[in-house]
Amino acid sequence: MIKSIILAAGKGTRMKSDTPKVLHTIFDKALLGYVIEAVNGTNLADENYIIVGHQANEVENYVKSNYENSKCVLQAPQLGTGHAVSMALPYLKDFEREVIILCGDTPLITSETLKEFIECHKSNNSDITVMSAIFDNPTNYGRIIRNSDGTLNSIVEEKDADIEQKLVKEINAGIYCVNWGKIKSAFSELKTNNAQGEYYLTDIIKWGNEKKLRVDAYTLKDNEEIFGINSKANLSEACRLLNRRVVKHHLDNGVTIIDPESTWISPETEIGADTVIYPSCYINGKNKIGSHCKIGPFAHLRGDVILEDHVKIGNFVEVKKTTIKSHTNACHLTYLGDSEIGANVNIGAGTITANYNPLTKEKSKTVIKDNVKIGSNSVLVAPVTIEEGANVGAVGVITKNIPAWALAITRAPLRVLENWVKKQ
């Protein structure tokens, strides 16, 4: 197994936020989380070392709460990317195999690309491999300068490049795979002879060539994968790029998405073929949607939602932490949270599962069995169970369990006072 080092110490000044840059989210998952999961998804890395600095405690709490195979290492003071990687030296002093080095603000990188990158490094018997990309407009990026045999000669920053080097369209993507046993000594030999007075990670290329090691570059197939987040505008663009990727995946697998531009679907959502997603839906978190379902328009799935086949979630319906069995409809203006709903159920317009107690801060479950009919504008106050075949009359406020095949009515009898208006 290999190791990874993920750089996550930066402040992210251009984000103009109190939140650390790597903890900004796309579909409620932190940018750093996407990178860690991409590494873990290769099934090649058993440990990740997250280099933290700015608001280190917040980043460390996030990592500890979500990723058992990841450890945070503090970089203080922050003296550049090369210095950041050197913070992992005490933890990897006896490690000799491959280490991949990534940035924690590139959420679009995929496990497939990282796996191919590592395999390329190994097949070339490389000691250092840098990921590169081809940009039509490479301005402001470090240029990849190759030797005649295709190996990597150097990375030249824009400000240091001559006229010929500036014409090079291959740029440094900022991801590295190194043979740690041969490379680790470089991090105690890097110099700060640059305008920033920092230790640059890119300097290991020159160091490796001076040591007669094999240094290569692997060219990325999809440039979007290295899109970095440095501002809220970048964050918004990354959301769009990731969503476009997810939507295309579902379209390719038989899902009908009426308006891809207004439909947002999280990467963790599974959707069966022949399901139709109508415009202006937001599907967040981890969900499993069956085949032949209809979702929306204007529906919101908030995560932990399981819909079996032939379920309809209609306009302005919000669903969270709920399982719904087949041939059940919730067509209009409804909230279903912390619920188990059976098959062949009809949920009337305006129904609410009142699952939250604001005094105790507890959430309780609503259970609706098969063949139940819930009338419009009903409130089901959890914990409550509606047994099979029961009907709840419109405007019902249900605070206790309803037996099978019963009718539950809580509204007052209708009174009609004839000619009341004229008398007034």
Catalytically active residues, by annotation: 332
Start-to-end C-alpha separation, the chain: 85
What burial letters (b/e) apply to 59-73, b meaning 16+ CB within 10 Å? bbebbeeebeebebb
* Cβ 338 vs Cβ 305: under 8 Å: no
Give the strand pairing for 329-341 and 346-347.
parallel
318: which strand partners? 300, 335
Helix 56-66 vs helix 31-40: angle between axes, to the nearest 10 degrees?
40
Cβ pair 60, 72 in contact under 8 A: yes
Structure tokens at 190: 């890097």
Q: Over the chain, what HEC string results?
A: CEEEEEEECCCCHHHCCCCCHHHCEECCEEHHHHHHHHHHCCCCEEEEEEEECCCHHHHHHHHHHHCCCEEEEECCCCCCHHHHHHCCHHHCCCCCCEEEEEECCCCCCCHHHHHHHHHHHHHCCCCEEEEEEECCCCCCCCEEEECCCCCEEEEECHHHCCHHHHCCCEEEEEEEEEEHHHHHHHHHCCCCCCCCCCCCCCHHHHHHHHCCCCEEEEECCCHHHHCCCCCHHHHHHHHHHHHHHHHHHHHHCCCEECCHHHCEECCCCEECCCCEECCCCEECCCEEECCCCEECCCCEECCCEEECCCCEEEEEEEEEEEEECCCCEEEEEEEEEEEEECCCCEECCCCEEECEECCCCEECCEEECCCCEECCCCEEECCEEECCCCEECCCCEECCCECCCCEECCCCCCCCCCCHHHHC
CA–CA separation, 424 vs 413, rounded Å? 23
